Chain A
Amino acid sequence: MTNDTRSRIRSIIAEQAMLEPDQITDASTPGELGIDSLGLVETIFAIEEEFDITVPFNANEPEKSDFDITNMGTIIAAVDRLITEKAA
């Protein structure tokens, strides 16, 4: 995983949560950051735009999506995987 990916994702999430990027750690959950369901969907849209990827996320059943949104760390890992798959 590149630090660049992590930093770009943190910036997106920070903007959504109206926080500074350094206030967001890998352990932060969307709920702790005050990101509601609509905010989560918007965050995923912003990630798709930023990295030109398609995130497999269904807001009806987030737990069944092939995209782990448990916390920032899992989101960053999942985005990294999607970037790698796209490059392959």
Chain B
Amino acid sequence: MSPKKAKDGKVSTFEATTREGLRRVVITGAGTINALGHDVASTLAAFREGRSGISQLDFRDVDRLSIQIGAQVHDWKPEDYFNRQQILLYDKFTQFTLLAAKQAVAQAGLNFAGKLGLNSGVVLGTAAGGMNTWDENYRTVYEEGKNRVHPFVVPKLMNNAAASHVSMEYGLRGPAFTVATACASSNHAMGLAFQMVRSGAAKVMLTGGSEAMLCFGGVKAWEGLRVMSKDACRPFSANRNGMVQGEGAGVFVFEDYENARARGAEILAEVVGFAMSSDAQDIVMPSAQGAERAIRGAMQDAGLNPEDIGYINAHGTGTAANDKTECAAVAHAFGHHADRLMISSTKSMHGHLIGGTGAVEMLACIMALRDGVIAPTIGYEEPDPECALDVVPNVAREARVDAVLSNAFAFGGLNAVIALRRV
């Protein structure tokens, strides 16, 4: 959105509401854990260095898998963060979420006591929820033949567990729920959080998502689709050979601008637009038209023109179908400006966190706006005429960008694109 001129002629980049009387929404806190690091600073350092978090998987029965690489959080010790009772009750996807939420709330400096808690909520994305809990307990009853499972199996595995525990941890008594739209889950969640704060339905929303599918059953299921790479994730490279799974969480504080300003909070970026679309076509094959409609919709919602966008964090899974479809969608949506855009896939570093992926990718968008550093697409080896965009290959780039998009396109044809602006 262009800065507006106030009556005194000065350019005012911020007013409390947009032209339409909607609240402005800003990001005031961020937290993460993923294969690149246990916090935002270490993750951004890896983005700058173009470092891969993909390695040999390490968990029970991994030798029975044909896919043995992933972006796993190897040095995870829940006892460093939670007590015995909490560990019994929290699946790994909830543990990851609570850690990321703690970092985000601390950065924002928020206290939800009193009225703010009543006006605040949480909406998170996940595709599989407590997959580790499903996996362990199927093993218990089927393989080990036991006839009873721990009573916390249900509260651990349910998809809303992470959102519910975050609401309890911080006393968030407003909207609280989980969105499951496969690989677009976190973008859908953050888009809804944006809409809720923008409409005035909530003052603050904790949002983002998490996934912890790196267990025997989780990887075995993905292997069956024959879309996984056995060696590396090389989005947009002609020799790409599939996606690589990751795990982790990203959580953000989305906040009413007035509320943030009243506290003197540091603003990381402004969320300005969101759009969703559905291909309504195929359960696994993406459609360029569906993606294009979501991209155009996010810009329209934000009041941005294609020329305003400097960077797109691509969905960029590294599969043959996704990458060429996404590039076609971007080329159509941006026309001649497509050649001046930077577009990169950070999945080449943190892997595909499935339902949590958009949340970690949001960090690269904030870094682009705030630090002027574009995270690269690593593993890029050969140009592909069907992906003929500037994919920021292999090495991070310094560039000032004023507005960015984050793309997420899910199996099932579910698309969610978010637009952010520099503050």
Contacts and interface: CB of A to CB of B under 8 A. Distances in A.
A68 interface: no
B372 to A, nearest CB: 49
Interface stretch (B31-39, B148-156, B343-351, B409-417): B148-156
B152 A38 contact: yes
A13 B166 CA distance: 28
A45 B148 contact: yes
A41 B89 CA distance: 13
Question: Chain B: interface residue count, which band?
Answer: under 10
Contact of A48 (B85, B89, B148, B152): B148
Nearest to A43: B151
A42 B148 contact: no
A18 B83 CA distance: 11
B88 interface: yes
Nearest to A49: B148
Interface string B139-174: 000000000101110010000000000000000000
A39 to B, nearest CB: 8
Contacts of B155: 38
Contact of B152 (A18, A42, A44, A49): A42
A44 B150 CA distance: 10
A25 to B, nearest CB: 23
Contacts of A42: 88, 150-152
A18 B155 CA distance: 21
Nearest to B83: A18
Interface in A14-56: 18, 38, 41-42, 44-45, 48-49, 54
Interface residues of A, number: 9
Nearest to A40: B151
A51 to B, nearest CB: 12
Nearest to A16: B85
A45 B154 CA distance: 14
A10 B96 CA distance: 34
A15 B250 CA distance: 34
Interface in B61-119: 85, 88-89
Contacts of A18: 85
Contacts of A44: 151
Nearest to B151: A41
A18 B88 CA distance: 14
Contacts of B148: 45, 48-49, 54
Contacts of B88: 42
Nearest to B88: A42
Contacts of B151: 38, 41-42, 44-45
B88 to A, nearest CB: 7
Contacts of B150: 42, 45
A4 B360 CA distance: 52
A83 B55 CA distance: 50
Contacts of A45: 148, 150-151
Interface string B1-20: 00000000000000000000
A41 B85 CA distance: 13
B90 to A, nearest CB: 13
B343 to A, nearest CB: 47
Contacts of B89: 38
Contacts of B85: 18
Interface of A: 18, 38, 41-42, 44-45, 48-49, 54
Interface of B: 85, 88-89, 148, 150-152, 155
Given A38-B89, A42-B150, A44-B151, 8 more contacts: A18-B85, A38-B152, A42-B88, A42-B151, A42-B152, A45-B151, A49-B148, A54-B148
State the 6 A-B residue pairs at the shortest beta-carbon distance, nearest first: A41-B151, A45-B151, A42-B151, A45-B150, A48-B148, A42-B152
17 contacts: A18-B85, A38-B89, A38-B151, A38-B152, A38-B155, A41-B151, A42-B88, A42-B150, A42-B151, A42-B152, A44-B151, A45-B148, A45-B150, A45-B151, A48-B148, A49-B148, A54-B148
